[in-house]
Amino acid sequence: MIEVPASIGQRLLAMIGHYRPGHGALNCPLLCRLRGPLEIAALQAALDGLTETHESLRTTFTGRGPALRQVVHPPRPLPLTVVGSCDDAAVDAELARPIDVTSWPARATLWRAGPADHTLCLNLHHLVTDAWSTGVLFAELRLRYARALGRPANLTAPSWQYRDFVEWQRDLCDGPGLDRHRDYWRDRLSGLRVPRLPYREPPPGATPGMVTADLPSYVVDGLREIARDCGTTLFTVALALYYAVLRQACGQDDLPVASLFANRARPESRGTVGFLANMVVLRTRLGESMRFPDLVRATHATVAGALAYQEHPYQTLPLEAATSPGGGRVDDVVFQMMAELDFTASAAGLEFELLVPDGIGSRFGVELAIAPRGRGLRAVLFYTPRLDDDTAARLLSGYVSAATAVARDDGAPVAQLGT
């Protein structure tokens, strides 16, 4: 066994899990549909290969707070539980069941929906993975399955294990490497005010909620066209829409929204499985007479700056430069969007489809998450009990109406969006 310190992000995530155990999920699953003739022994070999290759999948934790440490164990097989039937309730129950990361960080379940139809869940604790890692594991799972059946598979070892990232991050924070990052964020966050959403005092027994809505393909095609015209990404356009809706809800023209970025600027980290994601603050100022393309360009500048300076650990940002009258946290309002991956691919006669679960909750106050759904997008709004159900539903319907409006007329005034 190898024992090393936890990363800065891991320490914060573990603290959230300890003090707020019912606040959002700390599971980060790889969930996929398998269609075609499945060789379970080959799938078992693929899972074992993942566990051997990536130390994070065999890392447990000991201690708490600043004393939190990672314990990397020698490779061992990952048991695969095979269940005879599959239904949504069973999958949801597995996704929600906590993982005791002091014992083992991963478990695997396979449900049979039919002779050539299965669902696989590699359920991982968030301390050992993130959204980018899910993409790494999904791609490698297919290659390892093919290799187990004697097919050619171009597998490469990761340049960094997670402990290499932790060592690099520690050296970065201890040296002068973050000086320009600190200067950027101090200037960027100065005078920041948390969005003033119409919160209430939650009634007794109130619990966090979730509402969903789908953006059809013709709307998403329109948003992609706006992104191309403005020389930016679909993420930027989707975030700009969120700003427009928040402006209606908060009455603020200066809006900060938190988001988790992959934090993979170092090429050595691209194939690393682990919790590298870092929170950034995306602050954009909206003008009274601004039209949507203007907002997209302003949002593009915000996102580009955050990408350039994303290595600064969120936990050590100079948030003393930000003000928050009336309380609240900078990460109370969050925006997330899944990267555009190949969600369906084949290996050795088996089709692998990556599924995006939307029912595992959020650990933030109000989080808008956007995920692919066919040729369209699904928008999921997670919200704190301080936001009543009707207000949450209006926020999401406002987002959908704003997206539909700009897909038809990308020059629409921002002040009219989301109403």
CA angle, residues 262, 313, 57, in degrees to nearest 5: 55
Phi, psi of 358 (to 5 degrees): -115, 5
Each residue of 100-158: pLDDT tens digit?
Answer: 999 999 999 999 998 999 999 999 999 999 999 999 999 999 999 999 999 999 999 99
Range with the poorest average pLDDT among 37-46, 222-231, 285-294, 326-335: 326-335
Each residue of 202-230: pLDDT tens digit?
Answer: 888 888 899 999 999 999 999 999 999 99
Measured CA to CA, the distance from residue 186 to residue 305 in angstroms comes to 13
Residue 24 is predicted with a pLDDT of: 46
Q: Could you tell me the residue ranges of all domains in the chain?
A: 2-164, 178-340+357-416
More confident residue, 179 or 299: 299
Measured CA to CA, the distance from residue 191 to residue 374 in angstroms comes to 41
Q: Say if residues 115 and 144 touch (Cβ distance below 8 Å).
A: no
CATH topology agreement for domains 2-164 and 178-340+357-416: yes
321: tokens are: 């430069």
Q: Which residue has the tokens 């989301």?
A: 418
Taking CA atoms, 305 is separated from 93, 109, 280, 298, 347, in Å, by: 40, 41, 10, 11, 39
Task: Give residue 261's pLDDT band: very low, low, confident or very high (50, 70, 90).
Answer: very high
Spacing of C-alpha 387 from chain mean position: 22
4: tokens are: 């090393």
Spacing of C-alpha 53 from chain mean position: 23
* Topology annotation, domain 2-164: Chloramphenicol Acetyltransferase (3.30.559)
* Topology annotation, domain 178-340+357-416: Chloramphenicol Acetyltransferase (3.30.559)
Each residue of 352-406: pLDDT tens digit?
Answer: 999 988 766 677 889 999 988 888 999 999 999 999 999 999 999 999 999 999 9
Measured CA to CA, the distance from residue 271 to residue 4 in angstroms comes to 20
pTM to 2 decimal places: 0.91
What mean pLDDT is reported for the chain? Answer: 91
Measured CA to CA, the distance from residue 260 to residue 210 in angstroms comes to 19
Q: What average pLDDT does this structure show over 82-107?
A: 90
Residue 23 is predicted with a pLDDT of: 44
> How many CB atoms neighbour CB 93 within 10 A?
10
Residue 321 is predicted with a pLDDT of: 53
Is the pLDDT at 323 greater than 90, yes or no? Answer: no
3-state DSSP helix/strand/coil % of the chain, to nearest 5: 40, 25, 35
Residue 331 is predicted with a pLDDT of: 83
Measured CA to CA, the distance from residue 273 to residue 162 in angstroms comes to 7
Is the pLDDT at 319 greater than 80, yes or no? Answer: no
